[in-house]
Structure 1
Amino acid sequence: MLKLALYSLLARRLTAGLTLLSVAISVMLLLGVDRLQNQARDSFANTVSGTDLIVGARSGPVNLLLYSVFRIGNPTNNVGWDSYQALKSNPAIAWTIPLSLGDSHRGFRVLGTNDDYFRYLRYGHRQPLTLQAGRPFSSPLEAVLGAEVARKLGYRLGQAIVVAHGAGKVSFSQHDNLPFTVVGILAATGTPIDRTVHVPLAGIEAIHYGWQGGMPSQAINAEQARQLDLTPRTLTAFMIGLKSPIQAFQLQRQINTYSAEPLLAILPGATLQELWSLMAVAQTALSVIAGFVVIAGLIGMLTTQLASLDARRRELAILRSLGAGPGYLARLLGVEALLLTSLGLLLGLGGLYLAQALAAPLLQQQYGLQLAWSWPDASQWQRLAAVWGAGLLAGLLPALRAYRYSLSDGMTIRV
């Protein structure tokens, strides 16, 4: 029966192929939406780990998380250096990482920080940053590149780069009087770190010396910059690691009620959950749309089988004359529906992995989203089983009609 069903589908290869394609595309969309959601969650969650608090100017918690960790958006205000120093001296704090954003290099964000960034920052499962080449910066006009920056722009150690004013891809204000020298390239992390140019805080102060209203009023050279006091005046945000995580809520309240200036301290994990809750409606909508696409694909398969059934009545009558019973013919059409569904599932899975392999470099480059290869998880296997069962049910109606035709037609076909 399986062999006969295969030959029957091959005889109708055009309609069967189109039906198979519709089922495969619907399966790809159903699993692709779910996989993209899960991978996005994992990628965002792995961007920073081991950080107990993130502090910035008072705004929204999600906004602070996005611009300080994911380099998305811009801050509404800065944190005063004096406030940072006062909070840094709190005995509950083990370490801090200052962050200064606002400049870019050929579309990549420039981050001003210090040595503590390379010493204490963790990503993934508390993995430390490592250098694939060179060393961390040690003077104001040195830079350490993320892996994606170095790869895409083709930079090497010792190369000079010019930072642009502003975070846009195109800037008409270049800090070309003080170029930075590449002294290190970080190993790939699969996070926004890969798409970031890291420079010292003193370097950020040097390139903005004499700037007013976003334009330079006085240009200085590297030798003059070394003679200046390059202590930062403001920061965009800073990360905090505590000696004991139990003290996180207490310190968070202290910072949120800080009297010297309005500040906001957030718990990265809790704020990330808030971000996902804001996106829950969109995720549900995408899942529902994918589900309806699967239903449409199965209805298309059912429609094709029913439409071709009248044209196959002579074929079924000939099979009856050769000794096939009504039940055999009904099972034959059921096996054909099962084959179409099963092959559609396999083709959809294969297409999903192929699309993932092709899209992974683009998503990594443009959005810092890392798509890891993995087998379908338990929920995805359940969805595949549901589609397979629905395809089997969709084949029952043509099978039932074939059963009735074969009883009534015999060798005489009523038109």
Structure 2
Amino acid sequence: MLMKLARLSLWNRRGTVLMTWLSLTISIALLLGIDHLRTEAKNSFTSTVSGTDLIVGARSGQLNLLLYSVFRIGNATANISWDSYQRLTKHPQVSWSIPVSLGDSHRGYRVMGTSTAYFEHYRYANAQPLTLAQGQQFNGVFETVLGAEVAAKLGYQLGEQIVLSHGVGAVSFSQHKDKPFTVVGILAPTGTPVDQTVHVSLEAIEAIHLDWQQGAPMPGRQLSAGQALAQDLTPKSITAAMVGLKSRMATFTVQRQINEFKAEPLTAILPGVALAELWQMLSMVENLLLLISLLVLLAALVGMVTTLLASMKERQREMAILRATGAHPWYLFVLIQLEVLLITLLSMLTAALLLSGSLLLLQDSLAANYGLFIGLNIIKLTTLYWAAGILLLAMLLAVIPAVSAYRKALADGLTVRL
């Protein structure tokens, strides 16, 4: 009986209730959406590189090594000699390795020298492999495979030629114009730094620097592309290496052995640990977004209570009639609480449907453009905690209009005012 009365009362005031419901739905969807995106973004961020057990570079801090090897941010303090890298690849526990050579750029995008092992073993997100949207992997020395963003933003197509620049500035006056590269492949979007990278072979990095010394062309020695191909293009050093092990159980043992390598000072880091540490430094931003969402939700709930309080004056006669027919003051108190409960539950249900529908529509776009691999399942333990907290807060705020209805005297609603 009480539930039916609450439903009929809300329907009788459906215009006001509709606006309250919409406001609360958007607020709850915003809160749950930010919490879900926060969790999924963290998982997506920490899996920017997936399946790689160790990243090896010259002796430095783990965040610096992570930033320049994975995110192409900053520069290495030193390089790894090719002999040391070869010894690393022959370690009995090493299953595969990807060499990384940085230092050049193309119109603001970083150039990465590597081997075909990069296309075979590099994984991102949930162990997803790199795929080519067009073309093929590089085979020749002066061939390049572009990341999706590089090709899209600069308008490159297969078969076009590009010129690399020395250094990593957006504008460079030191260019390798005598050794242009042909675009032979374009990678599918990944939403990771791969999209912003120009990929060439290690031999290509050596070839374009044969007639350079200390960042400038050597006077009186200029080699053409053909002459460069006739030279020994074995790399002398690389910037870093990504390593996959045969057994995860050996990770810490191999890491310690690399860190204690006597031939030259090296650092081996666990990418997952380093990514988690980097995300921790960014936690202030996610907490700020969550706080803003909470304030929006609180404002919506206060608005709902304010609307109920404003309607109490119009409902004085309704309350008085209920009292006159034998309703206890507690009956009115529970009636108001029940109305708030119905509005809040309906808002939570529609907010969940709105959020799920939005994620379904935007999932592919978020993955391709921002590297956010967002799952569609928004129901998890933290969601239940948020739902319980929202209901509790709504019930607490509803006490204010409920007490107002409880305390109204019977005569207040039956007195005829002229």
TM-score scaled by length of structure 2: 0.82
Alignment map for 1:350-369 (pairs within 5 Å): 352=355, 361=365, 364-365=368-369, 367-369=370-372
The one of 316, 319, 326 equivalent to 2:318 is 316
Structure 1 partner of 2:55: 54
The answer to whether the aligner puts 1:251 opposite 2:254 as a matched pair is yes
Counterpart contact for 1:309–1:402, Cα < 8 Å: no
Structure 1 partner of 2:243: 240
Alignment map for 1:1-400 (pairs within 5 Å): 1=5, 2-10=7-15, 12=16, 17=19, 19-20=20-21, 22-212=23-213, 214-217=215-218, 220-279=223-282, 283-284=286-287, 286-288=289-291, 290-306=293-309, 308-309=310-311, 311-314=313-316, 316=318, 320=322, 325=327, 329-346=332-349, 348-349=351-352, 352=355, 361=365, 364-365=368-369, 367-400=370-403
Counterpart contact for 1:97–1:117, Cα < 8 Å: yes
Counterpart contact for 2:46–2:276, Cα < 8 Å: no
Q: Determine the C-alpha separation between the residues in 1 that align with 2:84 and 2:77.
A: 17
Q: Determine the C-alpha separation between the residues in 2 that align with 1:369 and 1:76.
A: 31
Offset, 1:201: 1.2
Counterpart contact for 2:337–2:402, Cα < 8 Å: yes
Percent sequence identity over aligned pairs: 49
Q: Determine the C-alpha separation between the residues in 2 that align with 1:323 and 1:170.
A: 84
TM-score scaled by length of structure 1: 0.83
Offset, 1:363: 7.5
Q: Determine the C-alpha separation between the residues in 2 that align with 1:234 and 1:292.
A: 54
Offset, 1:414: 8.3
Q: Determine the C-alpha separation between the residues in 1 that align with 2:149 and 2:326.
A: 65
| Gaps in structure 2 of 5+ consecutive residues | none
Q: Determine the C-alpha separation between the residues in 2 that align with 1:60 and 1:27.
A: 41
Q: Give secondary structure in 1 for the equivalent of 2:92.
A: coil
Counterpart contact for 2:72–2:193, Cα < 8 Å: yes
Structure 2 vs 1, CA of residues 92 and 358 (structure 1 numbering), >3 Å: closer, same or farther?
closer
* Residues 58-111 of structure 1, C-alpha deviations (whole Å, 9 max, x = no match): 111122123212334433332222322333333332322100123333443321
* Residues 292-340 of structure 1, C-alpha deviations (whole Å, 9 max, x = no match): 543343234323432x145425553686599694566545533442344
- Aligned residue type for 2:318: L
Structure 2 vs 1, CA of residues 314 and 112 (structure 1 numbering), >3 Å: closer, same or farther?
same
Q: Determine the C-alpha separation between the residues in 1 that align with 2:342 and 2:164.
A: 59
- Aligned residue type for 2:8: K
Counterpart contact for 1:99–1:236, Cα < 8 Å: yes
CA-based RMSD of the aligned residues comes to: 3.5
Q: Determine the C-alpha separation between the residues in 2 that align with 1:142 and 1:197.
A: 10
Q: How many pairs were matched up?
A: 409
Structure 2 vs 1, CA of residues 328 and 407 (structure 1 numbering), >3 Å: closer, same or farther?
same
* Residues 315-368 of structure 1, C-alpha deviations (whole Å, 9 max, x = no match): 536865996945665455334423442344345445645765569747853x53
